[in-house]
């Protein structure tokens, strides 16, 4: 038996259920963006953005999450794909980047 990825409608339905569970109101545009993020990054990551984007919306005293709120938390919290890319780009800047496998064996 094989599995297939969720389609946009299914992702949107799952996110809508999660919003209901967390008592979060979202604009239509925000839900579309969150669905796109769920498809391109991961459903788990987009679900985590619901709570944090709601906190951003509450801070600006809004009753519902808008696209700007999601964009803000998307820039603050990195998904696995962007995190991996960041690590590859800046690997020489991190501590112990100059240790070779042979040096690592000697320290053990």
**Tens of pLDDT, residues 16-59:** 999 999 999 999 999 999 999 999 989 999 999 999 999 999 99
Domain 8-77 is in which class?
mainly alpha
Beta pairing partners, 36? none
Per-residue pLDDT, 22: 96
Q: State the greatest distance between any 2 C-alpha atoms of the chain, in Å, as a whole number.
A: 58
What are residue 26's DSSP bridge partners? 65
pLDDT at 90: 73
Give me the chain's average pLDDT, please: 86
By the 8 A CB rule, do 14 and 6 touch?
A: yes
């Amino acid at each position: 038996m094989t599995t297939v990825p969720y389609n946009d409608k299914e992702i949107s339905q799952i996110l809508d259920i999660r919003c209901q569970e967390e008592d979060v109101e979202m604009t239509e545009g925000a839900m579309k963006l969150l669905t796109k993020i769920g498809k391109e990054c991961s459903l788990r990551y987009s679900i985590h953005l619901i709570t944090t984007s709601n906190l951003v919306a509450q801070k600006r005293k809004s009753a519902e999450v808008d696209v700007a709120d999601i964009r803000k938390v998307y820039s603050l919290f990195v998904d696995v794909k962007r995190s991996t890319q960041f690590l590859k780009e800046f690997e020489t800047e991190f501590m112990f980047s100059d240790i070779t496998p042979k040096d690592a064996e000697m320290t053990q």
